[in-house]
Amino acid sequence: MSKEAGHEMSVEQIKEKMAKMPEWMAKCEEWKKNMAEGGEGKCGGFGGMMGMAKEHMQKWMSSDAGKEMMNGKFGGQCGGNPDEMMKKFMGGMMGGKCGGDWKKNMGEWKNKRAVVVNKNHEKVMTILPGQTQFAEIEVMNGTQWPWKQGCFLGMDDAKQGDEETNMPIEPVRVDIPMHVAGNETIKLTVPISVHEHFPTSAKEHSVHMSFRGPHGNTFGERFTFKVIVGAEQKEEQIDEM
């Protein structure tokens, strides 16, 4: 007999645990790769972890120990339903201080995946309808993990407080052609093209963009560009008479 965390284990139990090690190592590698993108994917995102936890909860419930517990007080509170068990478990974990800190830390880590290096791209650009200007941004991967292949810069999702409802520019997508290692800084040129028939005015439009992973999920800090849709200036004709 041997002991693990104070519990006696037979040789057969130890062999069974050892046999499962390759499976868990593979899951850890998959999780690590998905987290490199910013926390998305099958195992990297919170929804993926919830799904995996629910699957293991269902397997445990079918075991002798699980059946014994489900016949007890806790099982009665949850009605023998794995969904209710997960809600109760996650509600306790995420509702407390530890859960709040976990969510806060994950959000901070995700923002560090693409950090705005300077504000040069926020200089106001006056662009005529149907024309294009180029802005340069500088971004740093502030984590140790490289970006996944297939990341790109695109339009950001609407957030509370955004005032723009009618974007003056064409949708932007700038693919990342290079490998971005951990703590590496890169520069990108972003084309800003105003819609051909967008009305001109002196209004300063805020255009928000963010980086996205191969599956389209956003990560990193938001990049904001300032655009005025200007009118073409006509030269005054001089009367020589």
State pLDDT tens for residues 8-52. 666 676 666 666 666 666 666 666 555 555 544 444 445 455 555
Say which residue the tokens 């509702």 belong to. Answer: 95
Span 148-174, pLDDT tens digits: 999 999 999 999 889 877 899 999 999
Phi, psi of 59 (to 5 degrees): -65, -40
For 60-103, write each residue's pLDDT tens digit.
566 665 555 555 544 555 555 656 655 555 555 444 444 556 55
Element (H, E) at 126: strand 125-127
DSSP state of 141: -
Q: First and final CA of the chain: distance in angstroms?
A: 113
In which band, very low, low, confident or very high, does the pLDDT at 205 lie, cut at 50, 70 and 90?
very high
* Beta bridge pairs of residue 191: 134
Give one word for 216, left, alpha or beta, with left for phi > 0 and alpha for psi -120 to 50: left
The domain segmentation of the chain, as residue ranges, is 6-110, 115-229
- Residue 147: closest CA among 185, 180, 110: 180
pLDDT given at position 118 = 93
pLDDT at 65: 55
Q: What is 115-229's CATH topology? A: Immunoglobulin-like (2.60.40)
- Looking at the predicted structure, is the pLDDT value of residue 241 above 50? yes
Confidence (pLDDT) at 163: 83
8 Å CB contact between 133 and 225? no
Average pLDDT, whole number, for the chain?
A: 77
Q: Is the pTM of this model over 0.85?
A: no
Average the pLDDT over 143-147 and give the result. 95
Once rounded to an integer, what is the mean pLDDT over residues 198-217?
Answer: 96
- What are the beta bridge partners of residue 223? 209
Contact 214, 151 (CB under 8 A): yes
If pLDDT is split at 50, 70 and 90, which confidence band does 199 have? very high
